[in-house]
Amino acid sequence: MADTIGIWVAALLTLFIFSFLYKDNPLYKMAEHLFIGVSAGYWVSYLYQNVFKPNLYNPLFHQGKLLLIIPLILGLMMVMRLFPKIGWISRWSIAFIVGITSGYYLITYLQTNAVDQVRASLLNFSQINNIILVVGVLSGLIYFFFSAEHRGVLGGTAKLGIWFLMVAFGASFGYTVMARISLLIGRMQFLLGDWLGLLH
């Protein structure tokens, strides 16, 4: 019974949102606002149960890990942003978070997305595909080289580079289309199958 009601509610909300395709209307606006509220509430409950309770409240108040007072304070400072007068205090916590992520990204991007990728491009030319790959990487990098005017050989190579980029963007394009269609298929499977029972 509860499941049947749930499926009907879900189906109606799905249709409300799809109604936007015809034109913007109150049913869509209702679903949209409900959605924003529900998703924010979802995150609050989740973080409370999975982070706040086991990582801060329990260890701090039940296991006596007093050092956790510091992140508690930094966390509260973050929330102070809600109050314009003392909002500046949130900069301390933001500075902490930004420091951690900057330090982290600095190293990880350099390793995984630069050095590891360069190493993987040191290929043997026994296969034609390896040659194409190396030429593609080099010419693509030339395109993003801003210290010299793209003229002559450099210009030609940059041109080749942009072609490689375009083929890559084409692949992204194709895959994005694929992804969006898949999501629509998922919704249709729900409407036609779970709700109306027309699919087998």
Partner 1 sequence: MGMGKKLSQIDRRIIFLVIGLAVALPLLFPIGLQIRVSEPAQRMYKAIDQLPPGSKVLISFDYDPTTMPELYPMNIALVRHCFAKDLKVIGMALWPTGVPLGEEAFEIAAKDYGKSYGQDYVNLGYKAGDIVLISNLGKSIPQQFPIDFRGTPLEELPIMKGVRSLKNIDLVIDLSAGFPGIVEWTMIAGGRHHVKVGGGCTAVSAPSYYPYLQSKQIVGLLGGMKGAAEYETLMNARGAAAGGMDAQSIAHLVIILFIFIGNLFMFLGNKGKA
Partner 2 sequence: MNRLRKSEILLAVLFPLPLFLGIGGAYGQDSLALAPVAKVTAVDTPNDGGGSITVDWEVSPDEAAGKVTTYHIFRASEGGEFQLLGEVSSGVTKYVDEGTRDGTKYIYAVQAIGKEGKSALTKSSPVWSRGQWFNTQRTNMLLVLLVISAAILLYIRKARAGGKLFIRKIAGLDAVDEAVGRATEMGKPVLFIPGIMDMDDIQTIAGMTILGRVARKTADYETTLRVPVCRSVVMSVAQEVVKEAYLDAGRPDAYDANKINYLTDDQFGYAAGVDGIMLREKPAAIFLMGHFFAESLILAETGFSIGAIQIAGTAEISQLPFFITACDYTLIGEELFAASAYLSGEPRLLGSLKGQDVGKAIFMAIIILGVILENLGYHFLTALMTTG
Partner 3 sequence: MRRQIPLAITLVVGLVMVVQYFVPHKPVGNLYDLFNTWAIVIFAFAIVLGVGNLIKIHGDRIYRLERGWGYSVLLLLGLTVMIITGIGWGIEPGTSFFYLYWHLYVPMSSTMFALLAFFIASASYRAFRARNFEAFLLLISAVLVMLGRVPMGKALWGQFPVIADWIMKVPNTAGQRAIMIGIALGVVSTSLRIILGIERAHLGGE
C-alpha distances out from residue 69 to 51, 59, 72, 73, Å: 15, 10, 5, 6
Using the rule CB under 8 A, is 104 a contact of partner 1? yes
Using the rule CB under 8 A, is 110 a contact of partner 2? yes
Q: Which of 35, 46, 88, 144 binds partner 1 (CB under 8 A)?
A: 46
Residue 147: contacted member of partner 3, partner 1, partner 2, none (CB under 5 to 8 Å, by partner type): partner 2
Using the rule CB under 8 A, is 194 a contact of partner 2? no
Binding mask 79-98 for partner 2 (x = CB under 8 A): --------------------
Binding-site size, partner 2 (CB under 8 A): 36
Burial 181-197 (b: 16+ CB within 10 A, else e): eeeeeeeeebbeeebee
- Residue whose C-alpha is closest to residue 132's, from 164, 92, 157: 164
Q: Which of 37, 111, 131, 148 binds partner 1 (CB under 8 A)?
A: 111
Question: Which residues, 19 to 78, sit near partner 2 by CB under 8 A?
Answer: 24, 32, 36
- Residue whose C-alpha is closest to residue 188's, from 28, 64, 14, 30: 14
